[in-house]
Structure 1
């Protein structure tokens, strides 16, 4: 699996090859720096660790300062491991090497986007679990149209089962969207446009996997 770390810029739309207007997310992907190369002999598995974004040195722990110094790079804000990096890079990845978006993806590829979804705080069942709500009078609540109604517990089982769909904190969790098409790559600006939406707010970190 190969990939790159990026920052969500926003959304736009472009015309695809078939002439249809496609909504796209703009991601500033890279440049990333190889901060560690793992192998089976020493670490038990093959992986490439990439760093992205600048971090103030005064806010960087000493252990990480030494880690980045080995790669002869400045402290990075995000560090992500990609296991079994693409075969084309076998034996060519060097510590401190710069990886750009054009090195990993080409237009037409399908990628998975991993990010942290927007936090929405404590929400009820209509917004959190898409219960019917107004008009459908969820669970027979004739006078409280957004209430969850009875959950069925009585003297047995006398408790709430784990996973019961109820009100609670929504969003702010790690989310992956799969099979997003790479619509356009602008290597001179380190930008990549993928079809559809990507989890997270603007300026949030996004991991693109292939």
Structure 2
């Protein structure tokens, strides 16, 4: 297993050499610092604790600062463990190009957008009742189950919608821009703009394919075609 931490920027689109439009999500992957290396002998499992995006010291408490001092690192805003990942030492810096290549498939995990309190139709995709005036039932919750004077757990009801952990699987990496620390992923990614996400190796084991060749615009200036001088002609008016 391998992975890296990033931050969602925006959605846009690019074109392949064949002219096919590809919707992509731009993810900023700043250098990740290895804060802790966990092993089976000491911790019972193998993992790497990664951190990214610096955080001000006055926003940290002493226990948190102790963890960063052990790794000789600046405080980080986003810290996550990547299970079954190894091969790095504490304090090492990892970039996106060190972990992934264009053409690989990844699973992206983030916190979805919060929608506030929502009814059962919007939250669970329930069907509505007849909209005629005589119906008396339009967007209600419907039957609550058997009449035994209680509601069973896990009953789908109105409540807080969104702001939960969501994973979208098998997203293809279209391009990795090492100069600007960007990863272009095909499709949509959970969460709002500037929301933190985790990119992991896909668990379903889809093999990587050849990277898509993208359309590169010619940046050379186009010379204007030369025009032959037009000779002035005069016409005589024979009155």
Give the TM-score band, short-chain normalised: 0.7 to 0.9
Root-mean-square deviation (CA), in Å? 1.8
Check conservation: 2:105, 2:172, Cα contact below 8 A: yes
Q: Give 2:139's aligned residue.
A: 146
Q: CA deviation at 1:137?
A: 3.2
Superposition TM-score, scaled by structure 1 size: 0.88
Q: Give 2:56's aligned residue.
A: 56
Matching residue within 137, 147, 150 for 2:130: 137
Q: CA deviation at 1:70?
A: 2.1
Which whole-Å CA distance do the structure 1 matches of 2:23 and 2:130 have between them? Answer: 34
Check conservation: 1:112, 1:179, Cα contact below 8 A: yes
Which whole-Å CA distance do the structure 2 matches of 1:201 and 1:64 have between them? Answer: 27
Q: Give 2:217's aligned residue.
A: none
After superposing on structure 2, the runs of 4+ consecutive aligned residues of structure 1 that deviate more than 3 Å are 16-19
Pairs aligned (count):
199
Q: Give 1:96's aligned residue.
A: 91
From the CA coordinates, give the structure whose radius of gyration is larger.
2
Task: Tell me the alpha carbon deviations over residues 133-189 of structure 1, each in whole angstroms, 9 at most, x when there is no partner.
Answer: 3xx639xx93442222232342xx221111222211110111111111111111111
Matching residue within 77, 82, 100 for 1:105: 100
CA 1:18–1:165: 2 relative to 1, 3 Å: farther
Which whole-Å CA distance do the structure 2 matches of 1:152 and 1:122 have between them? Answer: 23
1:123 partnered with 2:114? no
Superposition TM-score, scaled by structure 2 size: 0.78
Q: CA deviation at 1:16?
A: 4.0
**Where does structure 2 lack aligned partners over 5 or more consecutive residues?**
202-239
Q: Give 1:182's aligned residue.
A: 173
5 Å-filtered alignment, 1:75-94, equals 75-85=75-85, 90=87, 93-94=88-89
**Where does structure 1 lack aligned partners over 5 or more consecutive residues?**
none
Q: CA deviation at 1:15?
A: 2.1
